[in-house]
Structure 1
Amino acid sequence: MTRPEPAPRLHGRVALVTGASRGIGRATALRLAAEGASVAVNYRAGAAAAGEVVAEIEAGGGKAVAIAADVGDADAARRLIEQAVADLGGLDILVNNAGIARDGLIFNLAPEDWAEVMRTNFGGVFNCTKAAMSHFMAQRDGVIVNVSSVMGEAGWIGESNYAASKAAINSFTRCSALELARFGIRVNAVLPGFTPTDLVAGLVAKDGGRTIKQQIPCREFASPEQVADVVTFLAGPNSAYMTGSLLRVDGGAGAALGLGRPKL
Structure 2
Amino acid sequence: MLKNEDIFSRVVNCISATTRYPIVLLTEQADLENDLGIDSVKRLEIVVALEEAFGLRLSDRERDPSIRSIGDIARWIEEIVFSQGTENPVVADSVRQDRVPFPRGETATQPSRQLNDNTTRRESDFHRDPPQSISPPHFTPGTPPLENASVGKTLAGRVALVTGSGRGIGRVIARVLASKGATVIVNSFHSREAGEQTAAEINAQGGSAIHLWGSVANVGHLDQIFSQIKSRFGRLDILVCNASDGRIGAFMELTPDDWDRAFRTNVIGHHQCAVMASELMRGSGGGSIITMSAVGAKGWVDGLGSQGVVKAAVETMTRYLACELAPFGIRSNCVVGGPVYGDLLDKFPNARNAQDHWETHAPDGNLCSPLELANAIAFLVSDDASGINGSVWVVDHGFSAVANGQPKRVGEAKRVMSSR
Q: Which category describes the TM-score, using the shorter chain as reference length? A: over 0.9
The secondary structure found in structure 1 opposite 2:403 is coil
The letter of the residue matching 1:153 is: K
Larger Rg: 2
Q: Structure 1 residue 109 and structure 2 residue 254: aligned? A: yes
Deviation at 1:262, TM superposition (A): 7.2
- C-alpha change, 1:6 and 1:112, in structure 2 (3 Å) is closer
The letter of the residue matching 2:194 is: A
The CA distance in 2 between the partners of 1:24 and 1:85, in whole Å, is 26
1:37 to 144, 159, 182: 182
The CA distance in 2 between the partners of 1:77 and 1:120, in whole Å, is 12
Deviation at 1:206, TM superposition (A): 4.4
- C-alpha change, 1:262 and 1:250, in structure 2 (3 Å) is closer
Deviation at 1:77, TM superposition (A): 1.7
1:207 to 324, 348, 353: 353
Q: Structure 1 residue 223 and structure 2 residue 369: aligned? A: yes
Deviation at 1:60, TM superposition (A): 1.9
Deviation at 1:64, TM superposition (A): 0.7
Please list the CA deviations of residues 83-105 of structure 1 after superposition, one character each: whole Å capped at 9, or x if unmatched.
12323342110000001230222
Q: Which residue of 1 aligns with 2:155?
A: 10
2:324 to 179, 187, 210: 179
Are the counterparts in 2 of residues 71 and 77 from structure 1 also a CA contact under 8 Å?
yes
Gaps of 5+ in 2: 1-149, 413-420
- C-alpha change, 1:156 and 1:262, in structure 2 (3 Å) is closer
2:400 to 243, 254, 263: 254
- C-alpha change, 1:262 and 1:63, in structure 2 (3 Å) is closer
Q: What is the aligned-residue identity percentage?
A: 34
Deviation at 1:208, TM superposition (A): 6.0
Q: Which residue of 1 aligns with 2:139?
A: none
Alignment of 1:1-264 (within 5 A): 7-203=152-348, 205-207=351-353, 209-261=355-407
- C-alpha change, 1:200 and 1:121, in structure 2 (3 Å) is farther
Runs of 4+, deviation exceeding 6 Å: none
The letter of the residue matching 1:96 is: C
- C-alpha change, 1:155 and 1:217, in structure 2 (3 Å) is same
Are the counterparts in 2 of residues 8 and 36 from structure 1 also a CA contact under 8 Å?
yes
How many residues were matched structurally? 260
Please give the TM-score of this superposition, normalised by the length of structure 2: 0.59
Please give the TM-score of this superposition, normalised by the length of structure 1: 0.92
Are the counterparts in 2 of residues 221 and 251 from structure 1 also a CA contact under 8 Å?
yes
Are the counterparts in 1 of residues 156 and 181 from structure 2 also a CA contact under 8 Å?
yes
* Larger relative contact order, structure 1 or 2 (CA cutoff 8 Å, min sep 6): 1
The secondary structure found in structure 2 opposite 1:209 is helix
Are the counterparts in 2 of residues 118 and 161 from structure 1 also a CA contact under 8 Å?
no
